[in-house]
Amino acid sequence: MKKVLDVYRIFCIDFPAFSPCVSALLSIGCGLSKNFILFLLAICYFFLEVLNVRKLYVPLFLNLLIFVGMYFYAGFQSEDFDKEIPATKGSCYFHISSAKKYLRYGRSSIIYTGQVSNFQNDQLALKPFESRLLLKHQKPLKLDKKYKLEQIFLEKKSQHMACIKTNKESLLIPIGPLSLPIAKFRYQLQRKVSQILAKNIHDKKVRNLLKALSLGYSDNQMIAFEFSRLGLQHLLAISGFHFALLSLTISLALKKLFSIKTTCLILIFFMTCYLLYIGNSASIKRAYIAILIHLTGHFLSLKPRALNSLCLSCLILLIINPLELRSLGFQLSYAATFGILTLFKPTFDLCNQWIRTRQFDEALSFSAIEKLIYIFLMVIKSSCAINLAVSVTTVPIILGQIGLFPPFSLLYNMIIPVGVSLSMTLLIISFSLSFVPVLAKIIFWTNEIITKSYLILISNPPFLFASAIHYKLPKEAVITIFTLTFIPAMLYHYHKTPLRLEGSAKSLLT
């Protein structure tokens, strides 16, 4: 027990954002679900924090303050969504934040997302909330206008999202321009990207996939279905991987022209533009805030740690909207990244038992064919290690929320992400070289061939590979698995990394 406490103290010193983030997660979880296991876990956590205090009481006081504050804040924010609200008719104001085209039953339509305020009828009045708007009989909305909606129907789709529907009697009245029409800019730019892809990519299926990778969502139900049945749907959603890939591509082009600080400022500008273009889903906001913290740290000549950036971004998002915790996208996005950051090392060492990493001098002595085989095996080993790390943290959530998991997705997730990352890289290069049409067309053509090759594997899997486990995991089991996963991962990390304490870190432990 003493060993665990010592390691936890050092862990909290190395990652100061971890404790406030855990306090906020436990607090909001308790406030939203009133789950006995979560309350018990919160008591155990703060007991651990008391044992961890030694000389410094400020972190403990701060964590208690966060826990109490976020508990009541989450309860206040969820007050309307926790009510049993039947489909109800009323009026409201609607501020559009995004518009997305989608195909359903062969028909093209537009889903609007935005902020609903002043929703009321004779029996109900609600606080502002995020909602989707589906039009049935009306003309498309102007994306640079605010609207007053009358005679519309509100349906609660989940515990964090509502949907507004219209009928022939509904009135959509423009009441003035939006101060910052981001939705219009985003929609026009996404249409332009779609037109470029339609011009350069001839295979319809490949075009739909590259369109999903470019826009951050899939408007084609068949592509979404084929990816989801193999557990690959996360590849269609923009995440930290896409931000990191874009950041790496731009930084490689800039680092020889500018200083590190100038490069960081340019990257922050490009990442902000990318956020405005893509949208603001949970995975996108998580990735943007984390990379913003990382780049700011480098600009200030600090050494930002990935887990610290992750915890800080999680805390910021939960302060903005604690109901994000109920979103499956939020849970999977943070769980997957947390799994990579904490479990990659043990899973990589496990894979090293089968595919051994060679010394650099030994690898140089290989023949050309042996080098290619070795590089291929290293890519497979890294993919396998990442896949195992992500699966440990995400599979319990998937079974707890959906109750369905395709086991052979573990195999597909070792191969397909490599192809998708190559497609994404070629997309970035081809769009960047659009001022050289001939070169851009060659890259588009190459991308089409590569993408088509792995789409065949996805579209025509063996029957066994498309099977799935059907089992609903209790929420208590999900919480227990997460707790039991973190402690061994933490101990393993510091077992492999000698504990070297200097300065203030050493004084905190003595």
Q: For residue 368, give both structure tokens.
A: 């050309």
Taking alpha carbons only, the member of 21, 24, 27, 16 closest to residue 56 is: 16
CA 429 – CA 175 distance, rounded (Å)? 42
Closest CA to 484 of 404, 393, 349, 416: 393
Where do the structural domains in the chain lie, given as residue ranges? Answer: 2-77, 88-180, 239-322
Calpha distance 203→205 (Å, rounded)? 6
Dihedral sign (CA 177, 181, 185, 186): negative
Q: Is the pTM of this model over 0.75?
A: yes
The CATH code of domain 88-180 reads 2.40.50
The per-residue pLDDT string of the chain (510 residues; one tens digit each, 9 = 90 and over) reads 667 777 777 777 788 888 889 899 989 888 888 878 888 888 888 887 777 766 567 788 888 999 999 999 888 877 766 666 667 788 888 988 888 877 665 667 788 888 888 887 777 777 787 888 888 767 888 888 889 988 888 877 665 667 888 888 888 888 888 777 788 888 888 888 888 998 999 988 899 888 888 887 777 778 888 888 887 877 777 666 777 778 887 887 787 788 888 888 888 998 888 888 887 776 788 788 888 888 888 888 887 788 888 888 889 988 988 888 888 778 888 888 888 888 888 888 888 888 777 776 777 777 788 778 878 888 788 888 888 888 888 888 888 887 777 777 778 887 888 888 888 888 888 888 888 889 999 999 999 999 999 898 888 877 656 677 777 777 767 777 777 777 777 667 665 554 443 333 333 333
- Nearest in space to 405 (alpha carbons), one of 213, 151, 233, 186: 233
Please tell me the distance from the alpha carbon of residue 1 to that of residue 433, in angstroms, as a whole number: 58
Closest CA to 216 of 236, 198, 233: 236
Of residues 322, 285, 472, the one with CA closest to residue 397:
472
Residues contacting residue 14 through CB under 8 Å, at least 6 positions apart: 305
| Burial category of 328 from C-beta neighbours within 10 Å (exposed 0-12, middle 13-18, buried 19 and up) | middle
Half-sphere exposure of 111 (CA within 13 A, CB side): 13
Q: What single DSSP character describes residue 433?
A: T
Give the C-alpha separation, 321 to 317, whole Å. Answer: 6
d(CA 354, CA 489): 21
